[in-house]
Structure 1
Amino acid sequence: MIHDPTPDHDENDEAKDSEVADGTDTLRHRRIRSFVTRAGRVSTGQRRALDEFGPRFVVPFAPQPLDWDAAFGRSAPRVLEIGFGMGTTTAEIASARQADDFLGVEVHEPGVGALLKLIGKQGLTNIRVVQHDAVEVLEQMIAANSLDGVHIYFPDPWHKARHHKRRLVQPKFVALLVSRLKPGGYIHLATDWQNYAEQMLEVLSAEPALENTAGTSYAPRPDYRPVTKFERRGLKLGHGVWDLVFKRC
């Protein structure tokens, strides 16, 4: 999902402001959605892509488990990406990993249109999109023990201390993710905010069903995650970027 953009974040930043229950219960009180509402204008090219490619590549939200084989026309490893922003990283990873199927969840229409435009331009067939709140997608469309991987890149850091409770990566949300992973499936997070990286490491390390692939620290950036132009600019300015890769036991 999309966050209110800041100079320190790239086009893949996805606000994921979320507090969810475990894999079976939905929070009934003080529910927080996985995105921050943000106005955005759909460009002519994005609108054209929505009209041309949406019917094939956009999967309507439905309160029932998604039939991945039917949606993709094949059986392949399944990766969920939460909040793909403008879709550049999603398209690049999908292009490099054509044996895997990627379901991207994004609420903001300009980003959906931008990814569909890339899908059409590059002839990608292993991406599908759900334009809906990621928490509800996880709870209702993703079956238990069905995912091979989850990607969450540069979620909204909610950098003010009083807003940290709004961050996406919280224990209950991680428990929900874990319930949707197959044994051996992975969660890959990335952030350019050190305080959030520390929180991510603490939360994921405390989940008994997860194992840190990097021992007790952060992981090297996997080759499949490209460095965006904004990330590269930040690195040149001395900003840090932290990747975390955990696997379900």
Structure 2
Amino acid sequence: MIDMSMRKFNPQNIPTPKFGEFNLPNMPLDIEIGCGVGLHPIQYSMANPDRYLVAIEHTTEKFEKFKRRFEKHGCPKNLLPVHENGISWVAHLLEKESVDRFFFLFPNPNPKPSQQNKRFHAMPFMEKVIECLKLDGTVHMATNESFYAEECLDFMTNVWKLKCVEHRMITKDDNFIGRTHFERKYLERGQEIHDFIFKKEKSI
């Protein structure tokens, strides 16, 4: 049973990011939070040259690997690597209804019951994410944890009032090339991947 009494998100309680300025691009804007070493951002930006992706990673070691991968691939003009806390960056630098897609691919599931408030779908921060989404914009989430997938679906539809427009199960037998190193590892182990797309159909 989920707690419907979510407290309001207050950006004043969130530290200001070091990367303190961002100009909206002249193309559809997508945001990936917790992009790791950058495998998905590089693939995505090269496959979608008409879209602009901001890929945010907080961990220094992972971001440095991402930066080297970014440079190795010629620094795609439609990809902005950001070494920052994703919550801070989004809270202070994004405008209302400015984003077309958000990606949360394999976030830390924080599996203990006491850690629920650290899961993205259960955080007040999700209010800001949805506020920044354009109408018909989407939130794309993926996990290999069944408990996380079930809870995520509940929160995103019942608390945040988004429509689940896709929930597919991905397995090794699908000949699916993993988008992240985590996803490739899980598929190789024979685990199932829950892949969700949630759509914003009204303003909050």
TM-score normalised by length of structure 2: 0.81
- Give how far 1:203 is off: 0.6
Q: 3-state DSSP class of the match of 1:119?
A: helix
Q: Kindly indicate which of the two structures has a greater share of residues assigned to strand.
A: 2
- Give how far 1:88 is off: 1.0
- Give how far 1:122 is off: 1.5
Q: Alpha carbons of 1:232 and 1:106: their partners in 2 closer, same or farther (altered >3 Å)?
A: closer
Q: Alpha carbons of 1:101 and 1:148: their partners in 2 closer, same or farther (altered >3 Å)?
A: same
Specify which of 237, 240, 244 is matched with residue 189 of structure 2. Answer: 237
**Would the aligned equivalents of 2:27 and 2:51 in 1 still touch at CA under 8 Å?**
yes
Q: 3-state DSSP class of the match of 2:54?
A: strand
Unaligned runs of 5+ in 2: 1-5, 171-175
User: Which residue number in structure 2 is paired with residue 81 of structure 1?
Assistant: 32
Is residue 2:124 matched to residue 1:177? no
Q: 3-state DSSP class of the match of 2:95?
A: coil
User: Which residue number in structure 2 is paired with residue 125 of structure 1?
Assistant: 77
User: Which residue number in structure 2 is paired with residue 37 of structure 1?
Assistant: none
**Distance in 2 of aligned mates of 1:127 and 1:236:** 28
**Distance in 1 of aligned mates of 2:63 and 2:41:** 11
Higher RCO structure (Cα 8 Å, ≥6 apart) = 1
Specify which of 158, 174, 178 is matched with residue 206 of structure 1. Answer: 158
Q: CA RMSD in A?
A: 2.6
**Would the aligned equivalents of 1:81 and 1:150 in 2 still touch at CA under 8 Å?**
yes
**Distance in 1 of aligned mates of 2:96 and 2:184:** 37
Query: Which one-letter code corresponds to 1:119 in the other structure?
Result: F
TM-score normalised by length of structure 1: 0.67
Query: Which one-letter code corresponds to 2:54 in the other structure?
Result: L
Percent identity over the alignment is 22
Runs of 4+ in 1 over 4 A off after TM superposition: none
Alignment of 1:1-249 (within 5 A): 21-22=8-9, 25-26=10-11, 28=13, 61-62=19-20, 66-69=22-25, 75-123=26-74, 124-170=76-122, 172-207=124-159, 209-214=161-166, 218-219=167-168, 226-227=177-178, 228=180, 230-249=182-201
User: Which residue number in structure 2 is paired with residue 13 of structure 1?
Assistant: none
Query: Higher mean Cα deviation, 102-111 or 157-166?
Result: 157-166
Query: Higher mean Cα deviation, 147-156 or 172-181?
Result: 172-181
Q: Alpha carbons of 1:208 and 1:232: their partners in 2 closer, same or farther (altered >3 Å)?
A: closer
**Distance in 1 of aligned mates of 2:28 and 2:112:** 38
Deviations 1:14-68 (A, max 9, x none): xxxxx9843xx2374xx7x9xxxxxxxxxxxxxxxxxxxxxxxxx9521x6x212
Unaligned runs of 5+ in 1: 1-18, 34-58, 70-74
Q: 3-state DSSP class of the match of 2:198?
A: strand
**Would the aligned equivalents of 2:101 and 2:137 in 1 still touch at CA under 8 Å?**
yes
How many residues are matched?
Answer: 188
Q: Alpha carbons of 1:192 and 1:109: their partners in 2 closer, same or farther (altered >3 Å)?
A: same
Q: Alpha carbons of 1:135 and 1:172: their partners in 2 closer, same or farther (altered >3 Å)?
A: same
**Distance in 2 of aligned mates of 1:79 and 1:93:** 10
